[in-house]
Structure 1
Amino acid sequence: MNEHYDQQFASFYMRDLELSEPHKGIMDYFRLQDELRTSVLNKDLSEALEHLKQLQSILLNRASGDYVNALQRFYLSQMVLIADEMKQMGISPMKIFCFSSACIDMIYSWTEKEDLIKGGEWFIQTLIRHIEERFHPTYEHPLIRQAVKVVNQRLEDVVEVESIARELSVSPSHLAKVFRQEAGMTLKQFCHSRKVAEAKYYLHYSFVPISDISERFSFCNQSYFTKVFKEQTGMTPLQYRRQMQERRMTGA
């Protein structure tokens, strides 16, 4: 059985060597891929789209008409790399898995060249938007970065300064002081901002009852969730959901 797989792999490998040899752009592939990932993580959309365009061109030139497989496999490889970066940011494994699974379903739904090109642009824009919404601003102080990572891992739990400080082996007072100095807000305020950012996604794209969203993110009750949400956004969760529904209906 192993001999069969070895032979099959070798045939694919030799085929790709032969196909790639005439295309000098392949030599730039990994450099551009690294630059694309860096641009995405730096939230530089225009630069990321330019790198994407160059990579798409290299792959389409090499594809010899099989552009569907070429671009689908490329987007899947980028998803793997970005998922690893998300892990480093402290996103929970479950959310990384579901985010990756949804992206994979989207990628396999693109079967026409136009969809594959435009879908790739959407893919990059979506990655940057998720990073922008969930991880902006980023902090240089190592203790704050560690605290932020813990918060991101526990968004659906009750997050207290004491428990985070215990995990990071510092005193609660020291953590609270440094966090406020570096972030310009209390750790509790930051926790609320992250929970609200995640709750907005549910309000926008799902019909999950607001009471269930409140419970999912471990607010003590729906009234408190509404209070915190309004402090963060200037509107109640229901008002936000209706606004997003109106935008979808009007295409705004």
Structure 2
Amino acid sequence: MKKNEVLFWVQTVSISLDVSVSYISEKSKFIKIYSENPFYSLLFSKDHDDILNRYLNLVQEKIIYYANTPIKTCYLNICLNKESEEYLVIGPYLNESINESQINELQSNLDIDETILIELKKYYSTMPIVRMDRLWALCNLFLEKYFDIRGPFSVVGIKEEQIMSNKYKLDESLDKNVSIKMIEERYQMENELMDAVSKGDFPSAFMAHEKIMSNLGSYHSFNDSINSGIKGITILNVILRKAAEAGGVHPLYLNDLSSKYSMLSLSKNMDNKISVKMIKDYCSLVKYHSLEGANPLIKRAVSYINLNLDSDLTVTNIANHLCITPNYLSRLFRKENGISVIVYINQKRIDESIRLMKKTDMQIQTIAEKVGINDLSYFSKLFKRQVGKSPTQYRRDLGK
């Protein structure tokens, strides 16, 4: 996984959950993140830097480490590469809002004076509240791609006394409100959704979505996050984008659809069925633009065609771009797709012209030129052969 992909994930999660996410390539920078916390001295009872150095010596790759600090702020730490000292740090954040009685309890347990207590209350008011299960699921999706292995990945809670004794173990009570079993079931259902989307199978994807909602409908945090709201739409957009990418869709198409829903998530009048619409659109993207399983040369040929529909596309210039002979390209393309290169080009051009008719008010002549056909008569002939009606009739039926 490339560094820019890691940074894209970091930025996406940071924006969608409104939580600090940092990619670090040095131990000293890891320690700096904690040391910059205004209540650093309250997080550890002993030498701060020594504890963090011991902690970094203990952590292993492919494990999600969870820390719930004495002041109830939380962090997730992930070691991506121990040798090159690459880590992800997510936090600080809260699992739940802090009430007055909890603050009074903290004051008593930590012997906090009134001045610090006032500042601590202000600090809590700025903290994002992020549920463990949502963060855990997003981290699992990321780690699967980063390490190219199937999850789920273990969640390990390390306490200060475990660090000092150089021992750690799985903390079975990471979040008293959400059991590990529920998290695993949720993650499995999300995988079913992603698998269906990666195959362009909308009926199965829809059923997987309904299964999630019926099983976890009473679990308000998930229901709210995946079905509505800016954060929820952003998170679902990322999940579906990754699923479509796994299905072999070119980044150009992914970016167009992802950008569309990123902008839509900012709208104040979002349709409450937007999640189903998103799933359907991403399934369609995979169905019509997936290159999964294709010969590498054919993948490159198809990508070149799809990105240059408005150009003078011939078998010869495509073959030259791929550094192969036109005859070899023609034979291989027909073997892989069952149709000739030219037939495929014409189909894609008509598909694109239909999209432009639906989305714009451009004149038919202009649309024909946009898809690389300057002869309007020839364009109309191709259009009618593929669609069954002329471009003019098709547009009339659209009500435009």
TM range, smaller chain: 0.7 to 0.9
| Cα distance, 1:86 vs structure 2 | 4.8
Are 2:224 and 2:232, in contact at CA under 8 Å, matched by a contact in 1? no
Are 1:59 and 1:71, in contact at CA under 8 Å, matched by a contact in 2? no
Query: Does 1:128 find its partner at 2:286?
Result: no
Which sections of structure 1, spanning at least 5 residues, go unmatched? Answer: 247-252
Q: Which has the higher contact order (CA 8 A, sep 6+)?
A: 1
Within the candidate set 234, 237, 244, 2:391 is matched to 237
Query: Does 1:207 find its partner at 2:361?
Result: yes
How many angstroms apart in 2 are the aligned matches of 1:224 and 1:21? 62
What is the aligned-residue identity percentage?
A: 22
How many angstroms apart in 2 are the aligned matches of 1:30 and 1:239? 48
How many angstroms apart in 2 are the aligned matches of 1:77 and 1:127? 14
| Correspondence for 1:192 | 346
Query: TM-score scaled by structure 1?
Result: 0.76
How many angstroms apart in 2 are the aligned matches of 1:226 and 1:144? 28
Within the candidate set 176, 182, 200, 1:43 is matched to 200
Residue aligned with 1:10, SS: strand
Within the candidate set 255, 258, 265, 1:97 is matched to 255
Are 1:36 and 1:48, in contact at CA under 8 Å, matched by a contact in 2? yes
Q: 1:235 to 1:138 in 2, by over 3 A?
A: farther
Are 2:189 and 2:212, in contact at CA under 8 Å, matched by a contact in 1? yes
| Cα distance, 1:4 vs structure 2 | 5.8
- Which amino acid is the alignment partner of residue 71 of structure 1? N
Query: TM-score scaled by structure 2?
Result: 0.51
Q: 1:38 to 1:207 in 2, by over 3 A?
A: same
How many angstroms apart in 1 are the aligned matches of 2:355 and 2:284? 12
Q: Which has the higher strand share?
A: 2
How many angstroms apart in 2 are the aligned matches of 1:19 and 1:219? 63
| Correspondence for 1:158 | 312
Within the candidate set 71, 74, 82, 2:227 is matched to 71
| Correspondence for 1:250 | none
Judge which range, 99-108 or 45-54, deviates more: 99-108
Residue aligned with 1:89, SS: coil
Judge which range, 169-178 or 145-154, deviates more: 145-154
How many angstroms apart in 1 are the aligned matches of 2:283 and 2:371? 24
Q: What is the aligned-residue RMSD (CA, Å)?
A: 3.5
Query: Does 1:183 find its partner at 2:316?
Result: no
Are 1:41 and 1:131, in contact at CA under 8 Å, matched by a contact in 2? yes
**1:137-156 equivalent positions in 2, closer than 5 A:** 140-156=294-310
Q: Which has the higher helix share?
A: 1
Aligned residues: 239
> What do the CA deviations read for 1:18-64 (whole angstroms, capped 9, x no partner)?
47524743222333222212212323222211211233356644335
How many angstroms apart in 2 are the aligned matches of 1:10 and 1:89? 35
How many angstroms apart in 1 are the aligned matches of 2:387 and 2:293? 22
- Which amino acid is the alignment partner of residue 283 of structure 2? I
